[in-house]
Amino acid sequence: MEAIILQILDGLNKGSAYALIALGLTLIFGTLGVVNFAHGALFMIGAFCAVTISRVLSISQIVLDETRTDFLGKPLQVKVPYVDQWFGPEMGQLIVDWSVPISLLVTIPIMIIIGITMERGLIKHFYKRPHADQILVTFGLAIVLGEVIKYFYGANPVPTPAPSAFVGSLDVGVLIGLDPFTVVYPYWRLIYFGFAAIIITAVFAFLQFTTFGMVVRAGMQDRETVGLLGINIDRKFTIMFAIAACVAGVAGAMYAPINAPNYNMGMDFLVLSFVVVVVGGMGSLGGAVLSGFLLGILQSLASMTEVIDIAPGINQVIIYLVAIIVLLTRPRGLMGRRGVMED
Partner 1 sequence: MLGLKFSDFALFMLVVLCVALAPILLNPFPASSELAQFNAGYPDLLQRFVIFGVFAVGFNILFGLTGYLSFGHAAFLGIGSYAAIWMMKLLTMNVIPAIILSVIVAGVFSLLVGYISLRRSGIYFSILTLAFAEMSYALAYSVLTPITGGETGLQPKLSDPRILDAELSAGESPAANLFGIGMRDSYIVNFGDWVFTFNAGYYIAGLFLLVAFYLSIRIFRSPFGTMLRAVKSNQNRMSYTGLNTKPYTLAAFVISGMYAGLAGGLLVAMDSQVGPERMFWTASGEVVLMTILGGAGTLIGPVLGAGAIKYMENILSKINETVLKGWFEFLPDAASEWVVLFLNMFTGKSWHLTLGLIFMLVVIFLPGGLVEGGQRIARLFGIGKKRNQTVESDSAASK
Asked if 306 is part of the footprint of partner 1 (rule: CB under 8 A), the reply reads no
Nearer to partner 1, 214 or 324 (CB): 324
For 13, residues 6+ apart whose C-beta sits below 8 A from its C-beta are 189, 190, 192, 193, 258, 296
Q: Which is nearer to partner 1, 54 or 134 (CB)?
A: 134
Which residues within the stretch 157-186 sit at the binding site for partner 1 (CB under 8 A)?
A: none
> Looking at 70, 125, 225, 228, which residue binds partner 1 (CB under 8 A)?
125
Q: Which of 27, 111, 137, 265 binds partner 1 (CB under 8 A)?
A: 137
Distances (CA, A) of 214 to 43, 108, 284, 286, 287: 27, 23, 16, 16, 19
- Which residue in the set 59, 155, 198, 214 belongs to the binding site for partner 1 (CB under 8 A)? 155
The CB-of-334 to partner 1 minimum distance in angstroms stands at: 13
CB of 81 to partner 1, least distance (A): 28
Residue 264: Cβ-neighbour burial (10 angstroms; 0-12, 13-18, 19+): middle
Residue 212 binds to partner 1 (criterion: CB under 8 A) = no
Sole binder of partner 1 in the list 89, 140, 159, 168 (CB under 8 A):
140
Contact between 203 and 24 (Cβ < 8 Å): no
* CB 146 to partner 1: min, Å: 8
Residues in the chain: 343
- Report the run of H or E that residue 186 belongs to, with start and end: strand 184-186
Where in 18-57 is the site for partner 1 (CB under 8 A)?
35
Three-class secondary structure of residue 259 per DSSP:
coil
Cα separation of 269 and 250, whole Å? Answer: 15
User: Judged by CB under 8 A, which of 65, 70, 133, 222 binds partner 1?
Assistant: 133
Shortest Cβ distance from residue 134 to partner 1 (Å)?
9
| From candidates 136, 218, 304, 307, binder to partner 1 by CB under 8 A | 136
Q: Which helix (H) or strand (E) holds 80?
A: strand 75-81
CB 180 within 8 A of CB 173: yes
Q: Does the protein bind partner 1 through residue 312 (CB under 8 A)?
A: yes
Buried b (16+ CB within 10 A) or exposed e, 177-216: eeeeeebbbbebbbbbbebbeebbeebeeebeeeeebebb
- With contacts defined by CB under 8 A, how many residues of the chain interact with partner 1? 41
Q: How far is CA 249 from CA 23, 85, 207, 267, 328, in A?
A: 12, 30, 19, 14, 33
One residue of 95, 178, 190, 327 binding partner 1 per CB under 8 A? 327
105-124 binders of partner 1 (CB under 8 A): 122
- 109 Cβ neighbours under 8 A, 6+ residues apart: none
SS3 of the chain: helix, strand, coil, percent, to 5: 70, 5, 25
Instruction: Pick one of 165, 167, 202, 324: the residue that binds partner 1 (CB under 8 A).
Output: 324
141 in contact with partner 1 (CB under 8 A):
yes
Per CB under 8 A, residues contacting partner 1 are: 35, 122, 125, 129, 131-133, 135-137, 139-144, 146-148, 150-151, 155, 267, 271, 274-275, 278, 282, 312-313, 316-317, 320-321, 323-324, 327-328, 331, 341, 343
